[in-house]
Amino acid sequence: MSEAAILEALRQHPFTHDIEEAWKEVLAEMARLQTYPPDALLLREGRAADAFFLIVDGLVAIEMFAPGRGALRLQTVGAGEVVGWSWVLPPHRWEFDARALAETTAVVLDAAALRAQMSQDHALAAWILSRLLAVIASRLKATRLQLLDLYALPERRMP
């Protein structure tokens, strides 16, 4: 896949669409555009967190394997969203699995190269981390709402 296609994907993706063009070019140099067939694993719990996925198209499930219960799907992430932040935090190991539920295309950034770039360019680092914080906050909020059992009826009001 050409760098021009990756650059265009970065221009369209909500995570990167409004960053400086020069930064997009830096990111494009460390990225590849990859398509995963349904059921393909994008990342696996315990393995090195060596990539950052910007989902361009498709649907990805965040899963955890539970002995005796199989893969438990916790949430899904679709086009315009991102997968994976363990690459930011030591020890840089994935905490969950991520599996394509449909054919999925992602811009896959090389995490080691991105970390090295961020250690050199603090403005870029601040920008990426602030965006990632917004993603993490929205996932935390969604998880809390899932725990609330949002669709339960307040039975005390029902005759």
- Which residue's CB is nearer to other proteins, number 13 or number 24? 13
Residues 41 and 62 sit within 8 Å (Cβ to Cβ): no
- Which residue's CB is nearer to other proteins, number 22 or number 153? 153
145 binds other proteins (CB under 8 A): yes
Closest to 24 in 3D by CA, of 42, 10, 35, 41: 10
CB contact burial 40-62 (16+ within 10 A = b; e otherwise): eebbeeeeebbbbbbbbebbbbb
22 binds other proteins (CB under 8 A): no
Closest to 132 in 3D by CA, of 91, 92, 89, 93: 89
Task: Name which position in 4, 22, 66, 148 contacts other proteins (CB under 8 A).
Answer: 148
Q: What are 23's two structure tokens?
A: 């930064």
- Which residue's CB is nearer to other proteins, number 97 or number 110? 97
4 binds other proteins (CB under 8 A): no
- Give me the residues that bind other proteins (CB under 8 A), please: 14, 59, 61, 70, 73-76, 78-81, 101-102, 142, 145-146, 148-155, 157-159
